[in-house]
């Protein structure tokens, strides 16, 4: 059985839709709860590294000293071992920062449903095969990749964030948006008062009702995009058929 090493930064940020894909493909997930002090194990024996989002920024080592070791593990996994990697939101930014890119606060963050555009490089890249045009996605970030790693390809962009997706060869993918987002994600976030308060600071009163109203009709499209990206990475990286 293949194994996925999941690096988790917050309790309720989970792989979402991707967990269903892992079950279908017989991939055993192993989560490391970094904020609780759990350490990253030896990378030997894992087939996929999956790095989630989080409220911290890539440079906040003082409050999150484990970020240094996480970046080293990502660099070893992607640059030295050249093995399959998926990074979402913070995981996207950590991929860039670990490989020499630059991450900083965005001039204007993105929270809620926003649109991303597949670039020409994306339309011609194996990891974005079958994707073109514009897609509605769920966003929640105030930092962004300002300068991508030198050996990366920028596959998607948005008006507020030029680097929405990066690829390292055909085995590593970073997505600024929350590709794991599902109806279960909304329910999980909505159950947490601090998440609700944070979203209302961004979008105003009844923010979750607004997100539900806008996002729920888009769930089939969001799910189809996520599935396509996952299947592309499986094939291109050798993770699966």
User: How far is C-alpha 143 from the chain's CA centre?
Assistant: 13
Helix (H) or strand (E) holding 86: strand 85-88
Q: In sequence order, which residues have a C-beta less than 8 Å from that of residue 159 and are 6 or more positions away?
A: none
Q: Of the listed 114, 125, 171, 178, which one is catalytic?
A: 178
CA distance 238 to 241: 7
Give catalytic status of residue 125 as yes or no. no
CA distance 238 to 224: 21
User: How far is C-alpha 114 from the chain's CA centre?
Assistant: 15
Q: Of the listed 70, 110, 144, 180, which one is catalytic?
A: 180
Q: Of the listed 9, 70, 89, 110, which one is catalytic?
A: 89
The alpha helices in the chain, defined as continuous H runs, are 17-25, 66-75, 90-98, 120-123, 183-190, 193-203, 207-215, 219-237
CB contact at 8 A, 158 and 116 = yes
Helix (H) or strand (E) holding 109: strand 102-118
Give catalytic status of residue 89 as yes or no. yes
Half-sphere exposure of 31 (CA within 13 A, CB side): 15
Show the tokens assigned to 75: 């660099």
Give catalytic status of residue 180 as yes or no. yes
Provide the 10 A C-beta neighbour count for residue 100.
14
Which residues are part of the catalytic machinery?
Answer: 89, 178, 180
């Amino acid at each position: 059985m293949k194994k996925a090493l999941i690096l988790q930064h917050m309790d309720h940020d989970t792989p979402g839709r991707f967990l269903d894909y892992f079950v279908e493909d017989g991939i055993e997930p192993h989560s490391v709860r970094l904020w609780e002090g759990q350490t990253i194990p030896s990378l030997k024996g894992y087939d996929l590294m999956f790095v989630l989002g989080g409220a911290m920024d890539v440079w906040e080592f003082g409050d999150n000293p484990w970020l240094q070791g996480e970046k080293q593990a990502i660099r070893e996994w992607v640059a030295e071992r050249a093995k399959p990697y998926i990074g979402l939101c913070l995981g996207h930014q950590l991929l860039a920062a670990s490989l020499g890119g630059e991450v900083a606060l965005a001039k204007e963050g993105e929270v809620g449903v926003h649109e991303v555009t597949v670039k020409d490089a994306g339309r011609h890249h194996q990891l974005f095969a079958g994707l073109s045009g514009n897609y509605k996605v769920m966003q929640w970030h105030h930092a962004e990749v300002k300068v991508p790693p030198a050996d990366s390809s920028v596959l998607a962009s948005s008006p507020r964030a030029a680097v929405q997706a990066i690829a390292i060869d055909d085995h590593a993918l970073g997505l600024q948006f929350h590709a794991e987002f599902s109806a279960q994600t909304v329910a999980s976030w909505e159950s947490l008062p601090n998440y609700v308060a944070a979203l209302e600071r961004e979008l105003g009163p009844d923010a979750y009702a607004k997100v539900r109203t806008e996002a729920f009709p888009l769930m089939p499209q969001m799910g189809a995009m996520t599935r396509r990206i996952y299947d592309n990475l499986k094939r291109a990286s050798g993770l699966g058929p």
